[in-house]
Chain A
Amino acid sequence: MILGLIIVAIAAPVLAPYPDDVTEFHPAERLMGPGVQHFFGTDRMGSDIFSRMLFGARITITIAVIAIGVSVLIGVPIGLLAGYYRNWVSDALMRVSDIFLAVPQIILAIAIAQTLGASIENVILALSATYWPFWARLVYAETRSALNEAYVEASIALGAKPLRVMVMHVLPNISSSIIVRTTIGMGGTILTAAALGFLGLGPPAPSPEWGRTIAESREFLPEAWWYATAPGIAIFLVVMGFNLLGDGLRDVLDPRTRRSASD
């Protein structure tokens, strides 16, 4: 399912029956129901919803991948440092991430996205700024427990430098948890990004972003019932795909923490 999404996102211009409809309007074909000509119908501008949805996949993937990438790049080093050293700096780092975790992510993301203005870049920024503490917390906890393992003690005893211990010994051993968290985080990020788009904080019109499309459709209910259906199902399938992939990866990579929930 995830592979499908990536393929769709890359091949959007080829797959889309009306690739120009992202920006082009056809007032004559406005709000047409689903049919042979337009699989998922047309929107308020007469554009093909199916084509716009495919291009929306690109936006979603871009936002989620970059935002999560940045979060991992910020969160993992902070977690490693705070976990390895035991001093006031590591306490302070963890306190700061606690403060970020003290508010539901979407609330902070709303505040940031609002002040910066509606654009793809700002959504990415807002999501990265609010999601990095998840990785900092996770890596911190895992690093602390890894430090008690014999192989880490051995390498420290052999005189390995802190950086070497962190990167060569601790990081590879906690990577499976990071991968699982990242996969599940993708689902959450996509949901939050769509909610921001729905609230009008995402990329501005005529962007085919899924959340925005659903918000646009509300004016035309109940007549244009198909308008919100396609993007809604798209969000649902993609998020579910990442969640299930995350659960699956956890079972494969990390049998220790296997939960009864997934048996």
Chain B
Amino acid sequence: MVLIINRSLWFVPTLVGLMIITFTISHIIPADPVAFFAGENATNEQIEELRARYGFDKPLHIQLINYLIGVTQGDLGVSIYTQRPISEDLLSRLPATMELTFMAVLLSTVVGIPLGVIAAVYRNTMFDHVLRVITVSGLAIASFWLAILFQLLFAMELQITPLQGRIDGWGPEVITGFFLIDSIIAGDFDSFMNAAAHLVLPTLTLAFPAMATIMRFTRAGVLDAINSNYVLYEQAMGFPSRIIIWKYVLRNALIGTVTQIGLVFGILIAGTVVVEAVYDWPGLGLYAVEAILNSDYNAIMGFTLITGAFFIIINLIVDIIQGVIDPRN
């Protein structure tokens, strides 16, 4: 309990610190975003007017305080490029990224954990070696390159998956923003299949490094557990090894894997930026890439802040879960 309160108390200061860092980064720049946005033909008065409208005319520390106050009210500023509030932009992009990330988490755990267990049980066999090659590759491959390879093979050569995008046409009526769920609600089977087909390649690309990480930690955890005394005891008692492994060993081994969820989410968040860029997936990552191309500093700051907050929350939850599973620390 003390741990939970202690951790939660750090949440706000960490977030404020993150805000100050992103603010500093985006305001110590030599380039002038307003002049850039106003264009080459803008008069000085026009530039001054824009500067006043976006609050760039005030001293830096006042700008920072204004920004912090705005953030507490859910106001991340206005995108210089889309002319819309950044919080609205981010919110409308969120479901696409969440749908993709959720599928990737699902795939990487459902595949990664059993494969990790099997690799540990059959360690140093051919099967283990093959799996090790996959884990080592998963951690070394650049996901944007993997994405292009997938596109080349499955979308362009074999033509069994769509090349990019989230759906053909407008998609189902937006209720939750998750196309898979929305199309089920609408009873639209074609849209569902279409959205699912569009999900395949981005999910595979995003899940690959995460799966490699999960497999690696599961294997290590299972190996540690297999060598412990209680397993020896259960074996001596004549329990079938299938039950020992999948019931007793796995439960203990997964504690180690749970602590790595934060790491896995880090991989996934970083992955969405490049994966969405390649597959033209209209989520937060693509929004960030567009903001980069348009020198939209407010939008980049908003994106950094939101992903940072999300990541901090995930790590907070992991810490709490860890405290519950393993109260010794």
Contact = CB atoms under 8 A, between A and B. Distances in A.
Interface of A: 95-96, 98-100, 102-108, 110-112, 114-117, 187, 191, 194-195, 198-201, 211, 214-215, 217-218, 221-222, 225, 228, 231-232, 235-237, 239-240, 243-244, 259-261, 263
Most buried by B among A111, A194, A259: A111
B174 interface: no
B145 A103 contact: no
Contact of A218 (B18, B139, B148, B311): B148
Contact of A98 (B14, B28, B140, B293): B14
A236 B292 contact: no
Contacts of B10: 98
B317 interface: no
B17 A198 contact: no
B140 A107 contact: no
Given A107-B270, A111-B26, A201-B292, A243 B144 contact: no
A232 to B, nearest CB: 4
Interface in B109-162: 123, 136-137, 139-145, 148-149, 151-152, 156-157
B173 to A, nearest CB: 33
B192 to A, nearest CB: 28
Given A211-B142, A214-B148, A221-B151, A263 B223 contact: yes
Kindly list the 10 A-B residue pairs having the minimum CB-CB distance in the complex, ordered from nearest: A260-B223, A240-B140, A232-B145, A261-B220, A222-B156, A99-B17, A239-B140, A103-B308, A104-B270, A106-B270
B107 interface: no
A237 B277 CA distance: 24
Contacts, number: 151
A104 B269 contact: yes
Given A236-B141, A240-B136, A261 B216 contact: yes
Nearest to A116: B29
Contacts of A217: 148
Given A232-B149, A261-B216, A199 B289 contact: yes
Interface stretch (B180-188, B241-249, B297-305): B297-305
Q: Summarize A's interface: helix, strand, loop or mixed.
A: helix
Contact of A111 (B22, B141, B149, B157): B22
B25 A112 contact: yes
B291 to A, nearest CB: 8
B142 A111 contact: no
Contacts of B141: 235-236, 239
Contacts of A111: 22, 25-26, 300-301, 304
B21 interface: yes
Contacts of B28: 115
B144 A198 contact: yes
Q: Summarize B's interface: helix, strand, loop or mixed.
A: helix
Interface string B167-206: 0000000000000000000000000000000000000000
Contacts of B152: 221-222, 225
B137 A240 contact: yes
30 contacts: A98-B14, A99-B18, A100-B21, A102-B311, A104-B266, A104-B307, A107-B273, A107-B307, A108-B21, A108-B304, A110-B300, A114-B300, A115-B25, A115-B31, A117-B31, A187-B139, A200-B293, A211-B142, A218-B148, A221-B148, A222-B156, A228-B145, A239-B141, A239-B142, A243-B139, A260-B220, A260-B224, A261-B216, A261-B219, A263-B223
B315 interface: yes
B108 to A, nearest CB: 16
B288 interface: yes
B220 A259 contact: yes
A95 B9 CA distance: 13
B105 interface: no
B295 interface: yes
Contacts of A237: 140
B208 interface: no
B5 to A, nearest CB: 17
Contacts of B21: 99-100, 108
A229 to B, nearest CB: 8
A195 B142 contact: yes
A64 to B, nearest CB: 14
B18 A199 contact: no
B148 A107 contact: no
Contacts of A215: 144
